Amino acid sequence: MNQYTPFTDVFLMFIAFSGFLVAFFIFQEKKLKRPLVCPLKANCELVIHSDYSHFFGIPVEVLGMIYYALTALLHAGLILYPLSFPAEFISFTVAISLVSFLFSLYLVYIQIFVIRQWCSWCMCSALFSIIIFITTIINPEFYIKIWGL
């Protein structure tokens, strides 16, 4: 029987925390009505104030903060109590990372093909979401935790 090691969960916590910081930065700049300066000279302002910057009335960056915080907390729980969570709970982490991954692809599509502008901060957040999803599904620790392989 393989032994659980927390390396992947620590990595995912770090990526989720980084994603939270990016989403929080966007949120703060919008809240304070400061222009979002793009480090790569793209047009972040146009993207973050577009019609697509809200989903069901909720700012996309707030959804991002919720997702990243939840992901970081879930993986912190898996580190602290690795044998306490049922398989369904672990599967939930995969499900929310899948939803976030698909939503990130949608937002990237919107930036490229609809708005025809991109925001480096938003693309960074999408990259974090993609990393979380791919790491989650290729993680052998996931299979150890669910099936004890």
Estimate the crossing angle of helix 87-109 against helix 120-138, to 10 degrees: 150
Classify strands 58-59 and 54-55 as parallel, antiparallel or unpaired: antiparallel
**What is the length of the chain?**
149
Where do runs of H (alpha helix) occur along the chain?
Answer: 7-31, 44-48, 60-80, 87-109, 120-138, 140-147
**Closest C-alpha to 23, from 117, 110, 124, 93:** 124
Q: DSSP letters along 74-116, please?
A: HHHHHHHSTTTS-HHHHHHHHHHHHHHHHHHHHHHHIIIIII-
Look up the pTM and report it: 0.88
Domain 7-147: CATH architecture, name and number where available = Up-down Bundle (1.20)
| Angle in degrees, CA 36, 96, 79, rounded to 5 | 100
Domain spans in the chain, listed from the N-terminal domain onward: 7-147
**pLDDT tens by residue, the chain, 149 residues:** 455 678 888 999 999 999 999 999 999 999 999 998 888 888 899 999 999 999 999 999 999 999 999 999 998 988 887 767 677 777 788 889 999 999 999 999 999 999 999 899 999 999 999 999 999 888 766 655 555 54
Query: Which pLDDT score is estimated for 147?
Result: 55
How much is the pLDDT for 32? Answer: 95
